Amino acid sequence: MNVEVTRLSSGLTVVTETMPHLESVALGVWIKSGSRNETADEHGIAHLLEHMAFKGTARRSARDIAEEIENVGGELNAATSTETTSYYARVLKDHVPLAVDILADILTESEFDEEELRREKHVILQEIGAANDTPDDVVFDKFSEAAFREQTIGRPILGTPETVQSFTPGQIRNYLSRNYTTDRMFVVAAGAVDHQIFCRQVEERFARLPLTPSAPPVFDAARYIGGDSREGRDLMDAQVLIGFEGKAYHMRDFYCSQILANILGGGMSSRLFQEVREKRGLCYSVYAFHWGFSDTGIFGIHAATSGNELPTLVPVIIDELKKSSETIHQVEIDRARAQIRAQLLMGQESPAARAGQIARQMMLYGRPIPNPELMERLEGITTERLTDLAGRLFFDTVPTLSAVGPIEQLAPMEDIVSALSTPGVQTKKAAG
């Protein structure tokens, strides 16, 4: 792993991985701050700031930003998540100085013009409307709201029409000065990049970043609650998500949870896909996932099916959860490890994916993690550990259920909770 890390005198961390066989560079700025760092009256402001960063600076108009990067064939984008925000570009190696200059410009000299803000609010309102019209987006938002009721971590990242329309340039600047500081930011590049030259470029252009926040960043500890969220809609299919509290990134069972999710629903050979889709034909989509956060996590099973299949589908899913707490085969662990290893190595062939992976490791662990170390963390996972984890995940915690669509035949929550209360329950009762 040809990764170099430098902490500049400003406190800003610069990380590069040189991939000399490439002609391009993927680079970006990752901030350890997202929607979870909003105050009660800032719901949606992290995402709005990400949009407004591209809407004009002291030196460039919004059009200038777009044209300058595209004039050299480059790409520029950004993303907001629950705990992070990123601004990234991909250019040919000769145009790295331009990309660094533009990224620094939008992050240190954005003007947040009133008229641009008015237009961008309208764009985000359309984005919120589009998300509300997409059932598989809605089911995840409703799930988070139920799992972490009345908490920032459970709120939709986009905000609400009311909160988005209320924001002022001053509020955006307050969020920016509180969270976009050098101790929380990482500039990462992967590809045809020289580390020392890149560090000098970053140090020169990012000199205006604040070293310390204007006020302490907001971050309330998560409290998983669990619950039931159902929204009947006149749709062709029903979206159903059953989940449990997962494991945070730093917890011992984090990687074990990743393996368990892969075994249950990580591909066409997984238990849920084979039993629910292939053998029984109960849905057209089913998968399991495990999301980690800094202090909690989510383990979930998502399925999309017709409303008429729900009385059979949910008990079959619960039966598979029960079986996972009783028996896991070594061949399943080996297959899951092979899939994770392949995904890891294939992703590293893309400079953009590699830059993102390094940035996440720096934010989570404070250092790049070598591939052998990552795989070593998976090697100690045994069948006994997995069955023990499944028992604790699925039968010792309160479940969360979210459903959208024609869900009249979905079992009452108390029946589902009863079926999940102990591994030995006959889950056919969950059909109501």
Crossing angle of helices 310-324 and 383-395, rounded to 10°:
140
**Residues annotated as part of the active site:** 50
Nearest to 371 by CA among 348, 393, 355: 348
Angle at 426 between CA 420 and CA 427, to 5 degrees: 55
SS3 of 159-212: the string is CCHHHHHHCCHHHHHHHHHHHCCHHHEEEEEEECCCHHHHHHHHHHHCCCCCCC
282/409 Cα distance (integer angstroms): 14
User: In DSSP terms, which residues pair with 190 in a beta bridge?
Assistant: 17, 26
What single string gives the DSSP state of each residue in 228-288?
EEEEE---SSEEEEEEEE---TTSTTHHHHHHHHHHHHSSTTSHHIIIIIIIT---SEEEE
Nearest to 204 by CA among 110, 112, 105: 105
303/3 Cα distance (integer angstroms): 40
- For 327, how many CA atoms within 13 A lie in the half-sphere containing its CB? 6
Element containing residue 57 per DSSP (H, E): none
112/108 Cα distance (integer angstroms): 11
Structure tokens at 95: 């145009």
* Pairing outcome for strands 297-305 and 285-292: antiparallel
User: In DSSP terms, which residues pair with 240 in a beta bridge?
Assistant: 303, 403
User: In DSSP terms, which residues pair with 298 in a beta bridge?
Assistant: 245, 291
376/344 Cα distance (integer angstroms): 13
User: In DSSP terms, which residues pair with 79 in a beta bridge?
Assistant: 86
* Site of tokens 């509180």: 178
> What are the two backbone dihedrals, phi and then psi, of residue 80, each rounded to the nearest 5 degrees?
-120, 135
Structure tokens at 302: 């998502």
